Structures are given as structure tokens and as C-alpha cells.
């Protein structure tokens, strides 16, 4: 699975002009399931995200996790993270999980996140979304779990 994590001071997802998910300080996580991924990869990715020390401590060093700070998680499915741009100028998405499998793993990821973290909001799988964020830092980190 692939995730692109952005430390934010605020973020929200709108669908058809309505806000469906919104957080204050925390992490905006764009998530993509790839072919062959399973719950094991989802579990490892979530564990890494929850423990990733990218929030500042009292000394200003990145030493605290989203769990330490109590920040929110905004989880947004984004199959385009699996883009293959190695040939030509049009990206291919054959590495992404099939839509049904991608939805199943995204739903599983969200369910596990809600069981482990108190503030979890989401986008809408396969919807056209507008994602609004204020990147704090900026801090943006790609993660891949195989």
C-alpha cells in the first residue's frame, strides 16, 4: 500500500459542494491499495502512520506522533498514487488494485484507524473530491508498505 502523508493545521474534503470530512491539526493521508495488497499491508501502514514522529516537541524537534498530539486523521482514497509514468506522458494505473479490492482495503484501513485513533474523518471512495488543506511546515512524506 502507498500513502502520502501531509502534516496539516487543518484539512477538509468536499464532494458536490458539501464538506464530508474535516480535521484541525493532524494528518491528511492519501491512501492507495496496489495489486496484491492485503490487510497485513494495511495494518503495517496504519501502524507506521500512527507512530510516525513528525510533530514538534517542546524543543521544536520532530519527536511526537499524531497519537502523542491527539491530532486528527483525514483518510482519502487516491488510486493515482499508483501511477506509472515510466513510459510516455500519460500515466498508467495498472499497479492500482481493482476498484472492488481497493474499496475493500480502504474500508478496512478506515475501520482499523477508527478502532485505534479517536479522531478519524474520511473522503468518499471513487468520488470526485476537492481536498483543501493547510500543510504545516510544509511536511509531506511518502510511505510504501509491501
Q: Which of 80, 93, 130, 144 is catalytic?
A: 80
Q: Which of 41, 55, 79, 122 is catalytic?
A: 79
Q: Which of 78, 112, 121, 122 is catalytic?
A: 78
Task: Choose among 106, 121, 100: nearest CA to 39.
Answer: 106
**Other CB atoms closer than 10 Å to residue 41's CB: what's the count?**
19
Residue 50 phi/psi, 5-degree rounding, is -65, -25
Longest dimension (CA), the chain: 48
Cβ atoms of residues 75 and 123 within 8 Å: yes
The answer to whether residue 55 is catalytic is: no
Active site residues: 78-80
Amino acid at each position: 500500500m502507498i500513502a502520502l502523508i501531509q502534516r496539516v493545521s487543518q484539512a477538509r474534503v468536499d464532494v458536490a459542494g458539501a464538506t464530508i470530512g474535516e480535521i484541525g491539526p493532524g494528518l491528511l493521508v492519501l491512501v492507495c491499495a496496489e495489486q496484491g495488497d492485503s490487510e497485513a499491508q494495511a495494518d503495517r501502514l496504519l501502524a507506521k502512520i500512527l507512530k510516525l514522529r513528525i510533530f514538534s516537541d517542546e524543543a521544536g524537534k520532530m519527536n511526537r506522533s499524531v497519537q502523542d498530539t491527539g491530532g486528527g486523521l483525514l483518510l482519502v482514497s487516491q488510486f493515482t498514487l499508483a501511477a506509472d509514468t515510466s513510459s510516455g506522458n500519460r500515466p498508467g494505473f495498472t499497479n492500482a488494485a481493482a476498484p472492488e479490492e481497493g474499496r475493500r482495503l480502504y474500508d478496512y484501513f478506515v475501520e482499523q484507524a477508527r478502532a485505534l485513533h479517536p479522531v478519524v474523518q474520511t473522503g468518499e471512495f471513487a468520488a470526485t473530491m476537492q481536498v483543501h488543506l493547510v500543510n504545516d511546515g510544509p511536511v509531506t512524506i511518502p510511505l510504501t508498505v509491501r
